[in-house]
Amino acid sequence: MWFRKRTDKDFRTEVESHIRLEADRLIAEGMPPADAEFAARRAFGNVALVREKFYESRRWLWLEQLTQDLRYGLRTLRKAPAFAVAVVLTIALGVGANTAIFSLMDEVLLRSLPVHNPQALVFIETEGTAGSSGAPPYPCFTRLRAETSAFSGIAAFATDELRIEVEGKPEQVMGQVASGNYFELLGMKAAAGRLMDASDEKLNPPVAVISDRYWRSRFGGDPGVIGKTFSFRKQAFTIVGVTPAEFWGLEPGRPIDITMPISTERNLLADSGAWWFSAVARLNPGAPVTVAQSQTNAVFQSFIADSRQPAEMIRQYFHHLALRPAAQGLSGLRTRFSKPLYALMAIASLVLLMATANIANLLLARGISRRREFAIRLATGAGRMRLVRQLLTEILLLFGLGAISGLLFARSGVMALELLFAQGRRPIIVETNLNWRVLAFTMTVAVAAALMAALFPVLRAFNTDPEEAIKEGQSRTSESRGSATLTRTLVAFQVALTLILLVGAATFVRTLSNLRDVNLGFQNEDVLTMSVELPDGYAQPDKSIEFWNQTLAAVREIPGARTAGLAIFTPLSGRDRGAQIQVRGYEPASVNDTLIRINHITEGYFETLGTELLAGRLITEADAKGSPKVAVINESAARKYFANRDPLGQSIEFLKGRKVDSAYSIVGVVRDTKHMSLREPVPPFAFLPLRQPRDSERRVTLAVTSMLPNGQMSFLQPIRSRIAKIEPRALVSEVLTIRGQVDSTLLTERILSQISTAFGLLALTLASIGLYGVLSYHIGQQRQSIGIRMALGASPSSVALNVMRQSGVVIAAGLLCGMPFAYLAARAAESMLWGVKSTDPMIYMAGIALLSVVGFLSAGLPARRASNIEPSEALRHG
Amino acid sequence: MSTRKPEEDRIALLQGTLDLLILRTLLFGKEHGQGIARAIQAMSGDELLVDHGSLYPALQRLESKDWVAAEWGTSDNNRKARFYRLTATGKKQLVSEQRQWERIAAAVARVLMAENPAG
């Protein structure tokens, strides 16, 4: 056993026995017994010293001292519970905020895919000046597989929300089609059953693999799920296996439920003009990326040369193939959230700094009152190092307790954020967990903060002069001039930090409110929308139009329903459709100018949203099969294609390839409504009647308003049951109000403004507590001198004024120092802002005004107390 | 006392040699602290001064290195005493330390005996 603890008592017995034996020996040699004992002791030397050495030689001494210090620390904390609770809470908030944000960062920005050697994975993407657009069409992909040697495998995959039927009931899942070698390439083993392999691409029989998440949520983790079937596009797929729990797919935030062989999309596979999937490849060990890059690009260039794409399209979208690191999966989530997350991390660090400064001040004040204790301990022989160690142990204890409670705070905070992310039409699913990185981060942050907070108290402990401290007497504790400056500097520092946080909060709050004030182009946000998807077997447009007619009629009959309409998608839903057009009398300068957004709608749609008609008429029930094809365009389209002309009566010709495929004559112009984002200008739009479709769309959005304010949600059940009566296999999903939809597009702005406001106010509270504490403390210290001044004729009001002036100086110094940093922070955040500039004085004024008022208020009480000092009392009691 | 030299005539122990002497003493069998002190004195012909007290930190050190092992027993005159004995690793250590010591002693002796080195 390596841990062999010998007791002190055992050692003492040995020493005594030694002396006994030596004395025996001396007596045997003829010494008188009385002298022998003494001589034996003398020969032994200093018994106490030897025992001390023995004590110190023990391996666990430090642990013993640590437990001693901890016990002592806990005892002192228990004697000052208010102090302890205040400090632990402050640290918990500071550390908790940092841990919460870091665990999100860890999940969104730092985590690698849970697959075999993710570093060797790359995505193959087409790139041009307009950005990247996924993998090249499947025929080119097949050539890449055959004609490159740098990869051990290449796999294609595409994800989409799919309607499937399980046990005859429709449901919506996050679906994926993937090459047969997809899982093998990722190096994955099935959690149950088997995963797909290349032979499954034959679809004989069709098989599918489900995710662990879906397995648990849909099938309750039933092991009998293997062998079950579901139907997708009239085909029965047999579930053959479950993917490992940690694998969610290659796109972070969008977990896959079901994976099917890519051959399920057999129509797309042959299409050499369809850009619809992503490609992931594994580099051979030792194969340089540059070689792989030039191999793939060579294949692509020969493919694109044959494609007869216009040169401009090639330059903008299909210029070359690039290999992108795939270790962290597709970058959508990272691109969207990396800036906001860094901003939040910066805010959280400022809050922690703030908390640390507050605690440093509290510790300093406490250190002053404990000066005597330290002095006495020094005088009775404690080493200074031992004292410092004691102090550090106490501070680390506080921060340790704070960090543990902070972890709990962080958990609930992160869960709230996860819920926010999971809202909206396309929920983002992140699941943070307490992994070693998060724990290591929390520990590092807590220890660093503890050391910062401990710096001043420890320095003071080093400089304690026992004689001085004891001489200063029992009842009074005094403070040197230097430490008064120190505590004030700390408060000024807090004021500066608070200013930065308040300015940050002001910019984000303004951004959010500016975006909320953005003219959406429609009046009603209290519109209930839901996606309705028809089952297979509605390939005939007539059949589905019949269904939509019945549905609209049924919904309009629901009591309380005011208006109802249908559209393929609604504003800000994140869905988008485009088509190529030509307009007589308009000369496009580039390919982009021929692109127009299209939506198919019914009568009632614009009425439901409250979109203003600017000219002509809206689409009616009569715009159906057999009547002339009509279109309504938005302002942008009118401005762009009919600059100085009247668009009414003109026509839009839709192109397929280079030929005109259909023409719609314009009957109306409506107000622009925001499309993908509140920040972007509205693109040109053409609204076509749903009953005069250009293509068949089985998935349509139903929009309804209520006569009662906020009554729209009560329609959900009646609508569901009415639709089920018409077609039981129709799938109703993505139920959401337009307001909710707008909110979900403002997700990052909402998170930023809420968190920065909460933290700004927290900082303000801490700063005011800091200022109050320091001023009260100073007044306590200066009681005697204030008393003397008043005895000599100073008026109470001048004393109060003096205190106010002191606090004014501290606040002004803090504001002055904080300003440049607040400006830098606002400038760094500028790309996230909307309608606010870092040079806008308003965002600073608010913070400065708030801090001044709060500073004034928190100085008021101590000032009053100072002016109430009774000179005779103060002088008598000191 | 009469059989022993006055303390000031004896040689103070060189740093580090105490360990070697203790190990060497224990080569003859187990012995308690006082016995070890006496044995070193006796074997050195009373030339070496062993401060009995300093023996114990040394024994503690050796024990923690597992070169010696200890257990309580009874002395010749029936007193309770803690007996130390060499462990296997202790024996190996003794051999190597003794060789080391001999080399140092021989080297020092050569230096001291040398004629004019330059000549």
CATH of the domain at B75: 1.10.10.10
Nearest C-alpha of chain B: how many angstroms from A70? 28
Mutate to test the interface with B, among A25, A44, A55 (most CBs of B within 10 A): A44
- Measured at the CA of A198, the angle between CA A197 and CA A199, to 5 degrees, comes to 95
How is residue A387 written in tokens? 């004292």
> So what's the pLDDT on residue A190?
95
Q: What are the tens digits of pLDDT across the range A279-329? A: 999 999 988 999 999 999 999 999 998 887 888 888 888 999 999 999 999
How is residue A853 written in tokens? 């008022």
Nearest C-alpha of chain B: how many angstroms from A53? 7
What residues in A contact B33, CB-CB < 8 Å?
Answer: 14, 18
**Closest residue to B80, CB basis, from A15, A17, A31:** A17
Burial of A613 (0-12, 13-18, 19+ CB in 10 A): middle
**Closest residue to A21, CB basis, from B54, B56, B81:** B81
Contact B52 A18 (CB under 8 A): yes
What residues in B contact A59, CB-CB < 8 Å?
Answer: 64
Instruction: Please identify among residues 52-111 of chain A the ones whose CB lies closer than 8 Å to any CB of chain B.
Output: 53-54, 57, 59
**Closest residue to B34, CB basis, from A22, A45, A54:** A22
As for how many domains chain B has, the answer is: 1
Chain B within 8 Å of A46 (Cβ-Cβ)? yes
Closest alpha carbon to A864 in A776, A774, A765: A776
> So what's the pLDDT on residue A474?
44
Contact A25 B34 (CB under 8 A): yes
Contact A21 B35 (CB under 8 A): yes
Q: Is residue B53 part of a domain?
A: yes
Q: How confident is the model at residue A148 (pLDDT cuts 50, 70, 90)?
A: very high
Note if the pTM is more than 0.90.
no
Instruction: Please identify among residues 86-115 of chain B the ones whose CB lies closer than 8 Å to any CB of chain A.
Output: none
Residues B36-61 have a mean pLDDT of 81
Contact B1 A39 (CB under 8 A): yes
* pLDDT over 90 percentage in chain A: 55
How is residue A793 written in tokens? 């004729």
Closest alpha carbon to A821 in A842, A844, A798: A844
What residues in A contact B32, CB-CB < 8 Å?
Answer: 17-18, 21
Rounded to 10 deg, the angle between the A332-369 and A481-517 helix axes is 150
Task: Give the separation between CA A595 and CA A640, rounded to whole angstroms.
Answer: 11
Residue A863: C-alpha distances to residues A801, A804, A810 (Å): 7, 6, 15
Residues A678-699 have a mean pLDDT of 91
Residue A634: partners with Cβ closer than 8 Å, 6 or more residues away: A669, A670, A671, A672, A673, A682, A684, A685, A687
Closest alpha carbon to A276 in A179, A175, A156, A123: A156
Could you tell me which residues are beta bridge partners of residue A737?
A528
> So what's the pLDDT on residue A477?
45
What residues in A contact B35, CB-CB < 8 Å?
Answer: 21
Chain A within 8 Å of B52 (Cβ-Cβ)? yes
Phi, psi of A104 (to 5 degrees): -65, -45
Task: Give the separation between CA A748 and CA A851, rounded to whole angstroms.
Answer: 27
How is residue A857 written in tokens? 């208020």
C-beta of residue A315 within 8 angstroms of C-beta of residue A128: yes
Residue B7 has pLDDT above 80, yes or no: no
Mutate to test the interface with B, among A11, A17, A29 (most CBs of B within 10 A): A17
Sign for the pseudo-dihedral over CA of A821, A824, A829, A835: positive
Mutate to test the interface with B, among A21, A31, A41 (most CBs of B within 10 A): A21
Q: How confident is the model at residue A342 (pLDDT cuts 50, 70, 90)?
A: very high
Chain A within 8 Å of B64 (Cβ-Cβ)? yes
Contact A22 B35 (CB under 8 A): no
Return the amino acid letter for A280.
V
Q: Considering only residues A720 and A7, tell me which one the structure prediction assigns the higher pLDDT.
A: A720
Could you tell me which residues are beta bridge partners of residue A668?
A616, A632
Q: Is residue B118 part of a domain?
A: no
Averaged pLDDT of chain B = 80
Q: Beta-carbon neighbour count of residue A221 at 10 Å?
A: 12
> So what's the pLDDT on residue A475?
42
Residue A219 has pLDDT above 80, yes or no: yes
Q: Is residue B23 part of a domain?
A: yes
Q: What are the tens digits of pLDDT across the range A549-583? A: 999 999 999 998 999 999 999 999 888 898 999 99
Averaged pLDDT of chain A = 89
Contact A18 B32 (CB under 8 A): yes
What residues in B contact A18, CB-CB < 8 Å?
Answer: 32-34, 52, 56, 81
Contact B35 A17 (CB under 8 A): no
Residue A600: partners with Cβ closer than 8 Å, 6 or more residues away: A567, A568, A687, A688, A689, A690, A693, A694, A697, A700
Nearest C-alpha of chain B: how many angstroms from A32? 11
C-beta of residue A396 within 8 angstroms of C-beta of residue A447: yes
Three-class DSSP labels, A315-382:
HHCCCEEEEEECCCCCCHHHHHHHHHHHHHHHHHHHHHHHHHHHHHHHHHHHHHHCHHHHHHHHHCCC
Closest alpha carbon to A533 in A163, A6, A153, A39: A163
Could you tell me which residues are beta bridge partners of residue A229?
A238
Query: Which DSSP symbol is given to A782?
Result: T
Q: Is residue B44 part of a domain?
A: yes
Q: Is residue B56 part of a domain?
A: yes
Chain A within 8 Å of B65 (Cβ-Cβ)? no
DSSP string, A285-317: TT--HHHHHHHHHHHHHHHHHHTT--HHHHHHT
**Closest residue to A44, CB basis, from B53, B60, B82:** B53
Residue A2 has pLDDT above 50, yes or no: no
Measured between its terminal Cα atoms, the distance across chain B in Å is: 50
Q: How confident is the model at residue A15 (pLDDT cuts 50, 70, 90)?
A: confident
Contact A47 B53 (CB under 8 A): yes
**Closest residue to A50, CB basis, from B32, B53, B75:** B53
Residue B37: C-alpha distances to residues A171, B48, B60, B97 (Å): 90, 10, 15, 19
Residue A722 has pLDDT above 80, yes or no: yes
Q: What are the tens digits of pLDDT across the range A416-440? A: 989 888 887 788 888 888 888 999 9
Task: Give the separation between CA A433 and CA A415, rounded to whole angstroms.
Answer: 10
Residues A735-763 have a mean pLDDT of 91
C-beta of residue A110 within 8 angstroms of C-beta of residue A310: no
Nearest C-alpha of chain A: how many angstroms from B106? 32
Q: What are the tens digits of pLDDT across the range A488-531? A: 899 999 999 999 999 999 999 999 999 999 999 998 889 999 99
In chain A, what are the helix, strand and coil shares in percent, each to the nearest 5?
55, 15, 30
C-beta of residue A158 within 8 angstroms of C-beta of residue A265: yes
ipTM over the 0.95 cut-off: no
How is residue A197 written in tokens? 């392999």
Instruction: Please identify among residues 26-45 of chain A the ones whose CB lies closer than 8 Å to any CB of chain B.
Output: 26, 29, 31, 39, 43-45
Contact B52 A22 (CB under 8 A): yes
What residues in B contact A48, CB-CB < 8 Å?
Answer: none
Instruction: Please identify among residues 19-48 of chain B the ones whose CB lies closer than 8 Å to any CB of chain A.
Output: 32-35, 37-38
Residue A735 has pLDDT above 80, yes or no: yes
Residue B2: partners with Cβ closer than 8 Å, 6 or more residues away: none
Task: Give the separation between CA B24 and CA B50, rounded to whole angstroms.
Answer: 15
Could you tell me which residues are beta bridge partners of residue B71?
B83
Q: What are the tens digits of pLDDT across the range A636-680? A: 999 999 988 999 999 999 998 778 989 999 999 999 999 988 999
Residue B3 has pLDDT above 50, yes or no: no
Alpha helical stretches, state H, A157-261: 182-186, 212-219
Chain A within 8 Å of B1 (Cβ-Cβ)? yes
Residue A162 has pLDDT above 50, yes or no: yes
Domain boundaries, chain A: 1-59, 118-327, 335-516+747-877, 535-729
Residues A588-609 have a mean pLDDT of 92
Domain residues for B30?
Answer: 7-113
Q: What are the tens digits of pLDDT across the range A239-280? A: 999 999 999 999 999 999 999 999 999 889 998 888 899 999
Contact A45 B51 (CB under 8 A): yes
Residue A850 has pLDDT above 50, yes or no: yes
A249: left (phi over 0), alpha (psi -120 to 50) or beta: left
Contact B64 A59 (CB under 8 A): yes
**Closest residue to A46, CB basis, from B53, B61, B79:** B53
Sign for the pseudo-dihedral over CA of A370, A372, A377, A378: positive
Contact A45 B33 (CB under 8 A): no
Return the amino acid letter for A538.
Y
> So what's the pLDDT on residue A58?
62
Q: Which residue of B has its CA nearest to A50?
A: B53
Q: Is A148 helix (H, G, I), strand (E, B) or coil?
A: coil
Mutate to test the interface with A, among B10, B52, B55, B79 (most CBs of A within 10 A): B52
> CB pairs below 8 Å between A and B: how many?
67
> So what's the pLDDT on residue B52?
80
> So what's the pLDDT on residue B15?
58
Q: Considering only residues A584 and B114, tell me which one the structure prediction assigns the higher pLDDT.
A: A584
Residue A433: C-alpha distances to residues A38, A111, A405, A436, A874 (Å): 69, 11, 16, 9, 58
- B57-77 in b/e form (b: 16+ CB < 10 A) is bbbbbbbeeebbbbeeeebee
DSSP string, A158-174: EEEEEEEEETTEEEEEE
Q: Which of A161-175, A302-316, A793-807 has the highest mean pLDDT?
A: A161-175
Sign for the pseudo-dihedral over CA of A322, A323, A325, A327: positive
Nearest C-alpha of chain A: how many angstroms from B81? 6
What residues in B contact A11, CB-CB < 8 Å?
Answer: 56
Out of A315-329, B24-38, B101-115, which region has the weakest mean confidence (pLDDT)? B101-115
Q: What are the tens digits of pLDDT across the range A370-408? A: 777 777 777 776 777 777 888 888 888 999 999 999 999
